[in-house]
Amino acid sequence: MAQTPPPASPAPDGAPQGAPPPAVPFERVLTAAMGQPGSHELDHYLRRGGYVGAHKALTSMTPEEVIKVVTDSKLRGRGGAGFPAGIKWSGTRGNPAPRYLVVNADESEPGTYGNRYAMDTDPHMLLEGMIICSFAVGINLAYIYIRGENLHGYETLELAVRQARERGYLGRGLFGTDFNLEIYVHRGAGAYVCGEETALMESLEGKRAQPRTRPPHPFQVGGGLFGRPTVVNNVETLMCVPHIIVRGAEWFAAIGSPNCPGPKVYCVSGNVNRPGIYEAPMGLLLSELIFGDEYAQGVPGGRAVKAVSPGALASPLISGGELEVKLDVDAVRAPPYRTQLGAGGIIVYDDSVCMVELLLRAEQFFAHESCGKCVPCREGTHWMVDVLRRITAGRGREKDLDLLNNVAGNMSGLPFHQRTLCALADFAAGPMMSAIGKFREDFDYHIREQACPQQRQLAHA
Amino acid sequence: MPLSQAVKDLVVNEYIPRYPTKRAALVMALWAAQNEQGWLSSETFEEIGELLDLDATDVNAVASFYTMFHRRPIGRQLIEVCDNPPCLVNNAHETMQRLCDRLGLESAAGHGGGTTADGEYTVRFAECLAACDMAPAVQVNYRYYGPVRPDDVERFLANMESFSIETPIPPVPGQSGPPAGAAATPAGMVKEG
């Protein structure tokens, strides 16, 4: 994507003592090589300073020092939960070996596609992050779990692993040390729930992808892959790591939101003029991402933004009047938004989209992807589809909205494990309740007029 | 049709050694089998089970959980159109309608899909393919194409490669699958679903 950082404003001569330092221009590091032919090749990566971070970590730092730098950087997981990476690593390191690293490359949330570009463009950056993590945690065997549909990404990673192995960046005695690491790429075969870390590990073990009961947690004995303490990290999280090691924790912590810092790859899709991935400081304003010249450049035809899924399809919707929100993990969680950033997939819907039709298709997705293990999710998603189908078919009843709210309410709102083993039920319920709360006029119109307010059928009846 | 020795060797020599348990090689083994056979038969489950010390029932119970494994023969070219919200609001259904009209298929609603009488194409909807910037996104035999807008359908069927969003990467034995159009499709094509 064409994206240029704003020019640095030169510090004026004779600036008074105590004036704030001039703003450091933001530099893209995660997507810097996008669009460069051959960027996935090892030699291309080496010419750009590749594997310098891994070399530095393995030859001049102790594992504890690496974990401290990552902790000090305040790097938080980019997959959605926002858990501090350094704490996850040190917790796993505290449990007995063998330990494993699993990269969650199952990216399947409607509206997210940043990992696909990242792995196509810079697979070695991911491998380097994995080497540093494995060294820090004391891991000698790591897997990348990539969704089955992304065959091209699988082939790209296989090539990268082969090149790294041939040139000694993987295998035995890395960088002249006694540290050994093997990485295997593992394909999924079509199941959104594999993005949930315990379902992913079940799937990797050759089973149906159904979430596990916790505790034990993945970082504990009995809870991780093959029952061993395991780090599960998102692709983007690990790709931040080489840069943190090379440039330092302070550099990272100074970018964007202080409580959730660093560069973030935002994916924009839906009704925008320039859908694409945009790397920006964590905490970018949603309105700037949608309308900014350097970003998605507004809505086709100059139509109004009706609604946004700020953290891809699973996030509660926000309305077109709520676009002045900072896109970081904590800011979108806070009132009045009460939604989530997810993996940073922003879907924009213009004023031609009927929210009832949209929710029907969304709930069809969650019903199809529910693994069937927990009753509220298995039953609730299908009930919501049935009721929404009735409404869009022109047979809606006044009390159907209470019914939808009731079903969704029974699927969500409690900590994990009090109702369901994973968050898929919450993911289905959040958009439903927010749509009825914020776009009730669409539902009322459907029920009152027995017709769509947009006279346009989006979803299947 | 029995599995070839090449696939069995791949499972035993390549996949099983990657994991602490034999069972963990199951999904990779199923991929290698499907890429050779075009779909997964009960006999294939028996053969895979023998390699991994699993019951065929157990193999089936896992394979049938995942949407990408076919339990029946399908068309030589599997065309999947994403209609999740980012593609939906970019007219994915109109793209699907034009595809079905052009191929003489009545409907491809839901995950069952429709297959042309000559066994060349199976067309169905897909859940999100993680190519939302290329809406409507399409995969053919799990290769990425897009955007394929309704008005592009004629041109897309005539020259799919001009819609490709992939850079050339060497294929991986067992996993990359045969090129589009090369898979053997047994007679007796039935609608999947």
DSSP A100-128: EEEEEE---STT--HHHHHHHH-HHHHHH
Domain topology for B5-63: Arc Repressor Mutant, subunit A (1.10.10)
Cβ atoms of B140 and B123 closer than 8 Å: no
Q: Say whether A166 sits in a helix, a strand or coil.
A: helix
**pLDDT > 70: what percent of chain B?**
90
Report d(CA B49, CA B15) in Å as an integer: 14
Chain B residues lying within 8 Å of A112, measured CB to CB: 130, 132
For chain B, domain boundaries: 5-63, 77-163
Kind plus residue range of the DSSP H or E element containing A309: strand A305-309
Residues in chain A where the model's pLDDT stays below 50: 1-16, 461
Chain A residues lying within 8 Å of B171, measured CB to CB: 155
Report d(CA A377, CA A422) in Å as an integer: 10
Q: Do A190 and B69 lie within an 8 Å CB cutoff?
A: yes
pLDDT per position as a tens digit, B170-188:
999 999 987 554 444 444 4
Q: Do B69 and A108 lie within an 8 Å CB cutoff?
A: no
Q: Do A109 and B139 lie within an 8 Å CB cutoff?
A: no
Chain A residues lying within 8 Å of B67, measured CB to CB: 189-191
CA distance B26 to chain A (A): 5
**pLDDT > 90: what percent of chain B?**
86
Count CB atoms within 10 A of the CB of residue A15.
11
CATH class name, domain B77-163: alpha beta
Please provide the average confidence, as pLDDT, over all residues in chain B.
91
Q: Do B85 and A349 lie within an 8 Å CB cutoff?
A: yes
Taking CA–CA distances from A348, the nearest residue in chain B reads B86
ipTM, two decimals: 0.94
Q: Of the candidates B30, B133, B172, which has its C-beta nearest A269's C-beta?
A: B133
User: What's the confidence (pLDDT) of residue B184?
Assistant: 46
User: What's the confidence (pLDDT) of residue B181?
Assistant: 46
User: What's the confidence (pLDDT) of residue A416?
Assistant: 66
DSSP symbol at B12: I
Report d(CA A328, CA A310) in Å as an integer: 10
Which among A151, A305, A350, A361 is the top mutation candidate for probing chain B, defined by the most B β-carbons within 10 Å of its own β-carbon? A151
CA distance A190 to chain B (A): 5
Compute chain A's Rg from CA coordinates: 23
| Helices H / strands E in chain B, number of each | 7, 5
A12 cis-preceded (ω within 30 degrees of 0) = no
Taking CA–CA distances from B171, the nearest residue in chain A reads A155
Which among A140, A141, A152 is the top mutation candidate for probing chain B, defined by the most B β-carbons within 10 Å of its own β-carbon? A152
Cβ atoms of A327 and A264 closer than 8 Å: yes
Chain B residues lying within 8 Å of A236, measured CB to CB: none
CA distance B187 to chain A (A): 25
Q: Do B170 and A271 lie within an 8 Å CB cutoff?
A: no
Partners of A350 in beta bridges: A305
Domains annotated for chain A, with CATH where assigned, are 42-253 (3.40.50.11540), 263-350 (3.10.20.600), 355-449 (1.20.1440.230)
Two tokens at A57? 């970590």
Q: Does B110 have pLDDT greater than 80?
A: no
Two tokens at A165? 């192995």
Q: Do A111 and B132 lie within an 8 Å CB cutoff?
A: yes
User: What's the confidence (pLDDT) of residue B107?
Assistant: 73
Q: Which string of DSSP letters, residue by residue, matches A387-444?
A: HHHHIIIII--TTHHHHHHHHHHHHSSS-TTSS-SSTHHHHHHHHHHHHHHH-HHHHH
CA distance B164 to chain A (A): 11
A-B contacts (CB, under 8 Å): 167
Q: Do domains B5-63 and B77-163 have the same CATH topology?
A: no
pLDDT per position as a tens digit, A253-268:
999 999 999 999 999 9
Report d(CA B191, CA A180) in Å as an integer: 49
User: What's the confidence (pLDDT) of residue A25?
Assistant: 86
User: What's the confidence (pLDDT) of residue B187?
Assistant: 40
Which among B11, B39, B169 is the top mutation candidate for probing chain A, defined by the most A β-carbons within 10 Å of its own β-carbon? B169
User: What's the confidence (pLDDT) of residue B106?
Assistant: 83
pLDDT per position as a tens digit, B120-156:
999 999 999 999 999 999 999 999 999 999 999 999 9
Chain A residues lying within 8 Å of B17, measured CB to CB: none
Which residues 6+ apart lie within 8 Å of A74 measured at CB? A84, A249, A252, A253, A259, A260, A261, A262
- Pairing label, strands B138-140, B77-82: antiparallel
Q: Of the candidates A155, A184, A276, which has its C-beta nearest B171's C-beta?
A: A155
pTM of the model: 0.94
Chain A residues lying within 8 Å of B169, measured CB to CB: 40, 152, 155-156, 159
CA distance A454 to chain B (A): 13
CA distance A20 to chain B (A): 39
Burial class, A387, CB count within 10 angstroms (exposed 0-12 / middle 13-18 / buried 19+): buried
Q: Of the candidates B21, B86, B93, which has its C-beta nearest A205's C-beta?
A: B21
